[in-house]
């Protein structure tokens, strides 16, 4: 380190970002913590949902002896991530707001604030690794593949990767926990946060209904039998287990359904407002090919196509072999074996040679 570089560390109040900050302090960087407000909604106690995490972040900063800044980006979050999320659901698609949050908020407005304050880098507690390769910056999976977050980070580009750090990317989660205890951090035993602030304990459907009006339509089996009515395609996801029972209903294979066999959402007919359901082995659930649009390549260059690589349709899904072919402005993805429930609106992320290449949105 030629000079004492200034690092702005996003402290979320969790153990991962706390350890990230502790590691950077130990390595001799000039570290400043920052807490970013993205959503401001009263919790059960009446205080804003972010307050408990802010208090934890403040305790970490005091323990490490570093300053802690606080910024409110809730307006930017609402106008980008939340607006996108509601629009996608209302169109009958299933978005992933975390991907857009990373692109436009955490490594968009947060990174802009980092530059504005004259810091050299923005560091977070994400599980991923950034490497400088022969042809530019690369986004690589974390050491802990079970915690790897490259799926959520695949929309980042060269300029962003050149100015960010992921200090815990080279550690496993148990190692991070052990480091938190070694550094005697006040959040060392804090439970993993799996929820989202703006949803909290409220089911997703209930949250969506605050902005999306019900639009009833028929529930039809994949064999064409009408068995009920749904309250809006926006509230259902392909592959989701449906609580409805329909004794005697048949699937496309013609087998009889029993009371003990659950039904799953296998397709949505947007034009007719029809929700198609079937059994877990329904052929409609499995796709050999899909089309992907709105593509982003981390290198900034379209790879030579066709390309044999690996693909991930959702976070933590094991990588699957595929072949990608250009079809106009879209890509056609041919899976080595049929994939269950590829869902329009969700992201498809590509990997090759232990690097994340980028990805796009499932179109159909």
pLDDT at 206: 81
Q: Is 356 a catalytic residue?
A: no
Q: Is 101 a catalytic residue?
A: yes
Domains, the chain, with CATH or none: 6-182 (3.40.50.620), 213-281 (2.30.30.280), 285-362 (2.40.30.10)
Q: How far is residue 343's CA from residue 267's CA, in Å, rounded to a whole number?
A: 9
Q: Mean pLDDT throughout 214-235?
A: 91
Question: Is 316 within 8 Å of 146 (Cβ atoms)?
Answer: yes
DSSP one-letter code for 283: G
Q: Which of 49, 140, 197, 356 is catalytic?
A: 197
Question: pLDDT tens digits for 251-292?
Answer: 443 444 445 678 999 999 999 999 999 998 899 999 999 999
Q: How far is residue 127's CA from residue 171's CA, in Å, rounded to a whole number?
A: 8
Q: Which residues contact 60 (CB under 8 A, 6 or more apart)?
A: 11, 13, 18, 21, 33, 185, 186, 187
Q: Which of 49, 101, 309, 322 is catalytic?
A: 101
Structure tokens at 217: 């339509």
Q: How far is residue 234's CA from residue 93's CA, in Å, rounded to a whole number?
A: 7
Question: pLDDT tens digits for 172-181?
Answer: 999 999 999 9
Reported pTM: 0.90
Question: pLDDT tens digits for 9-29?
Answer: 999 999 999 999 999 999 999
Structure tokens at 293: 């649009």
* Mean pLDDT score of the chain: 89
């Amino acid at each position: 380190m030629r000079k004492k570089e200034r690092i702005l560390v996003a402290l979320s109040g969790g153990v991962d970002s706390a350890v990230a900050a502790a590691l950077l302090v130990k390595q001799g960087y000039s570290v400043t913590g920052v807490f970013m407000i993205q959503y401001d909604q009263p919790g059960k106690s009446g205080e804003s949902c972010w307050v408990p995490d802010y208090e934890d972040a403040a305790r970490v900063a005091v323990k490490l002896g570093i300053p802690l800044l606080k910024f409110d980006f809730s307006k930017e979050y609402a106008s980008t991530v939340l607006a996108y999320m509601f629009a996608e659901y209302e169109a009958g698609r299933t978005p992933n707001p975390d991907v857009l949050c990373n692109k436009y908020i955490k490594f968009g407005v947060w990174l802009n604030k980092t530059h504005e304050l004259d810091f050299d880098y923005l560091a977070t507690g994400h599980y991923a690794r950034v490497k400088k390769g022969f042809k530019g910056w690369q986004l690589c999976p974390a050491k802990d593949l079970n915690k790897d977050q490259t799926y959520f980070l695949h929309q980042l580009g060269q300029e962003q990767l050149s100015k960010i750090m992921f200090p815990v990317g080279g550690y496993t989660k148990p190692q991070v926990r052990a480091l938190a205890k070694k550094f005697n951090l006040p959040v060392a035993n804090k439970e993993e946060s799996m929820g989202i602030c703006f949803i909290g304990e409220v089911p997703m459907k209930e949250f969506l209904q605050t902005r999306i009006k019900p639009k009833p339509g028929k529930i039809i089996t994949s064999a064409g039998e009408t068995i009920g009515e749904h309250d809006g395609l926006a509230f259902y996801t392909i592959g989701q287990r449906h609580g409805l029972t329909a004794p005697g209903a048949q699937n496309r294979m013609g087998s009889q359904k029993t009371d003990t066999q659950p039904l799953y959402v296998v397709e949505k007919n947007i034009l007719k407002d029809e929700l198609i359901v079937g059994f877990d082995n329904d052929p409609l659930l499995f796709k050999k090919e899909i089309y992907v649009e709105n593509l982003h390549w981390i290198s900034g260059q379209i790879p030579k196509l066709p390309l044999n690589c690996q693909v991930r349709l959702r976070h933590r899904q094991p990588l699957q072999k595929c072949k990608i072919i250009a079809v106009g402005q879209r890509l056609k993805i041919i899976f080595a074996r049929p994939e269950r429930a590829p869902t329009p609106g969700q992201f498809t992320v590509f990997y090759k040679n232990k690097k994340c290449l980028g990805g796009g949105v499932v179109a159909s």
